[in-house]
Amino acid sequence: MLDSPLPIVGFCAFSGTGKTTLLTCLIPLLNTRGLRIGVVKHAHHRFDLDCPGSESRALRTAGAEQLLIASRHRIAWIEETPTSEGEPKLADVLKVLDPRRLDLILVEGFKREPIPKIELHRPALGTPLLHPRDPNIVAIATDTPLLSQTPGLARLDLNRPDQIAAFIIDGIYREWRAQHACGALLRAL
């Protein structure tokens, strides 16, 4: 598993399954339970956060490799990455987040990374399960019952974000906290 100062849960699925939609439902549910949530999202395509004609776009176009925009309301960080470096590694991306201000990190994408994951599966889309090939999948959230049962693999209702949030808190967050509290205690001895 990836070493992290915070518990991490990934969400993996084929495109169009509803990962972002589910995360937008889960975040407020987890917030109401007192958790401060960080999100890391992988994109397979180019994207821009600043608008054409903006001052930040002008600075990037002028050649800034990294750009940090800060106001009393928000801080945004943009870094240009050479395409020769390939896809970013999750461990490198996580370094940008401030673990002092978060309790839990949700990761969308990065499906090959060694983190606990919930697979989203909609059989109507005709895509295969990722689970048999990824030992880091700890649960499958689906909108229909799965025929086969795998011991140790939780089954969640994709249409019940409250159930998924409870699984994250009880099955991943609290377990991570207990393991790391024991590790900290042993290191202190």
Chain-centre distance for alpha carbon 122: 19
pLDDT in tens, 129-183: 998 899 999 999 999 877 667 777 899 999 999 999 999 999 999 999 888 876 5
pLDDT beyond 70 at 187: no
Q: What's the confidence (pLDDT) of residue 183?
A: 52
Q: Residue 166 and residue 139: Cα distance in Å, rounded?
A: 12
Q: Residue 25 and residue 47: Cα distance in Å, rounded?
A: 23
Of 45 and 95, more confident? 95
Q: Residue 86 and residue 81: Cα distance in Å, rounded?
A: 9
Retrieve residue 132's tokens.
């048999």
Confidence label for 43 from pLDDT (cuts 50, 70 and 90): confident
Average pLDDT, stretch 7-21?
A: 95
Q: What's the confidence (pLDDT) of residue 44?
A: 61
Q: Residue 9 and residue 104: Cα distance in Å, rounded?
A: 8
CB half-sphere exposure, 147, CA atoms < 13 A: 2
Retrieve residue 152's tokens.
């140790």
pLDDT beyond 80 at 80: no
Q: Are 35 and 101 in contact (CB under 8 A)?
A: no
pLDDT beyond 50 at 115: yes
Confidence label for 185 from pLDDT (cuts 50, 70 and 90): very low
Q: What's the confidence (pLDDT) of residue 25?
A: 97
CA dihedral sign, ordered 93, 97, 100, 103: negative
Q: Residue 26 and residue 8: Cα distance in Å, rounded?
A: 14
Q: Which of 68, 111, 51, 56 is nearest to 87 (CA)?
A: 111
pLDDT beyond 90 at 4: no
Q: What's the confidence (pLDDT) of residue 5?
A: 86
Q: Are 110 and 10 in contact (CB under 8 A)?
A: yes
Confidence label for 45 from pLDDT (cuts 50, 70 and 90): low
Q: Please report the domains of the chain, with CATH numbers, ordered by start residue.
A: 8-42+88-188 (3.40.50.300), 49-86 (no CATH)
- Determine how many CB atoms are found less than 10 A away from the CB of residue 165: 21
